[in-house]
Chain A
């Protein structure tokens, strides 16, 4: 590819476009690279989608890959539901996610506000303990969490799957940080007007932490919907499986028909894509402003 040196006369126009403006060739190169990476990232998903739409008579093992199904059919989505109760599994995952979202939104908001805005004896110790849990990877305590859940009589139940994560320690700390960033003068003004704690939390705190709350909702949903290890340990009855455990069950137990597994993975994958697609603007807005820190 040859780069054309722009004649000096175009200099002002170039300057008007701003510092370091790329040439059309550079831009084209950038798009070419972007599309290449896109194929690498999205390709496997599309291949799986394509497999899930191929009929029973179409050979899925051909050496020359056939990306477009000859006769696209949704039949595999029906067949997978006959093999495993896939819609019950989806509902189970949804129930777990709903419990976790509710618990985290309510529990972490209340605790985050108390830790950020109210002065009380022992606050420092409590905060320190919340922080200390962060060095514990979840897998380290998973065995004794199972023993605990079993002791509570919740082994092999969705409640047992949902309960431990219903208030996540990290989210408490995130909400505390969000509330601490709200100007304290707002609170003081409300206090002068005679507002009590609940009113200050509801009318001054909450409207200012909506961004953090939506991030917590999105990631709690994704975390609960995608989780595998914990439900795999807690659940034994195949009727109670969540989607991820059910998919592995389908993969491991039934002589694998790639079309059915593909249909199953799409049922687990597409809701996440839709949720993230709707919410992504919250997410990347923060990134753009340099607000997200590792």
Chain B
């Protein structure tokens, strides 16, 4: 389209380009620069070469955090690729009241992770709902320490992540299911294929690209987990700080007197490197779809 003055497009795109440069590109560059310094939250910082990177290799808490991320991903991947698909199949048919159910199933997605974690923190408390029910039914004699045990805390955070993510991936699957040609189902039904066979031979191949997409999304979000673990462990990262995630470490080092922005930046770059694989894979998928 034509425009009379050469600077009109720059005027329109100006604010966004300013934000692109100042709040996105510069911080990306500066993360690399900071990672070679010993900058502190209260200012200052000298060039310290590869010191921060050496520290990465020798950080037990980071090793724990990476292990936590791997466990997080390994549990979330199967659960969050399969359960939301089943949920989408359940709410796919337009029966009376279905909009209400769809909206209700989406509610945990729009709630803040802080709100959700506080709710689950109370449900899983030593004297909370789940422990009350467990003891009432005689399954356990003493409360299960969901929030104070190193592994139980991690699995509690995983459980609430799965619970919060169901609706999100359900919607993506719903959209994919809407794109599976209805005629295929009809033709198969005419040929005598039951619901189970139609699921395996028509639905599943139809949503396979979406499954791949969702797996990549889950991989990235498992590496970025923060609020759930932070709030469930009350900012402490569990017993001995062993339930930290990489992002929790970044946050920890960016604050307070013991903070170390240089090391936090090195951690940020590590996070970038480990998310890059699934991220690039996602970008390729999106380009193919577009």
Contact = CB atoms under 8 A, between A and B. Distances in A.
A20 interface: yes
Interface string B255-290: 100000100110011011001100110010000010
Interface in A82-122: 106-108, 110-111, 113-115, 117-120
Interface in B5-62: 6, 8-10, 12-17, 19-20, 22-28, 30-31, 34, 39
Contacts, number: 297
B119 interface: yes
B268 A143 contact: yes
A184 B2 CA distance: 12
A291 interface: yes
Interface string A265-289: 1001100110011001000100111
A148 B269 contact: no
B280 to A, nearest CB: 7
A233 interface: yes
Given A65-B129, A294-B172, A229 B247 contact: yes
A201 B12 CA distance: 11
Contact of A37 (B87, B127, B254): B87
B272 A233 contact: no
Interface string B219-239: 010011011001100110000
Interface in A239-275: 244, 247-248, 251-252, 258, 261-262, 264-265, 268-269, 272-273
B112 A272 contact: yes
A205 to B, nearest CB: 10
Interface string B119-140: 1111101010100110110000
Nearest to B266: A143
Contacts of B136: 63-64
B178 A118 contact: no
Nearest to B213: A294
Nearest to A286: B175
Interface in A181-204: 184, 187-188, 191, 196-197, 200-201
Nearest to B269: A140
B13 to A, nearest CB: 4
Contacts of A222: 110
A38 B272 contact: no
Contacts of A261: 118, 122
Given A107-B19, A148-B23, A293-B175, A200 B1 contact: yes
A56 interface: no
A126 interface: yes
B111 interface: yes
A269 to B, nearest CB: 5
A15 interface: no
B3 A118 contact: yes
Contact of A137 (B24, B118, B175, B220): B220
11 contacts: A34-B91, A40-B163, A118-B3, A139-B224, A144-B268, A169-B24, A191-B2, A268-B114, A276-B110, A284-B99, A294-B175
Report the 9 A-B pairs with minimum CB-CB distance, sorted nearest first.
Answer: A111-B16, A226-B112, A114-B12, A290-B178, A167-B19, A144-B27, A144-B30, A141-B27, A120-B9
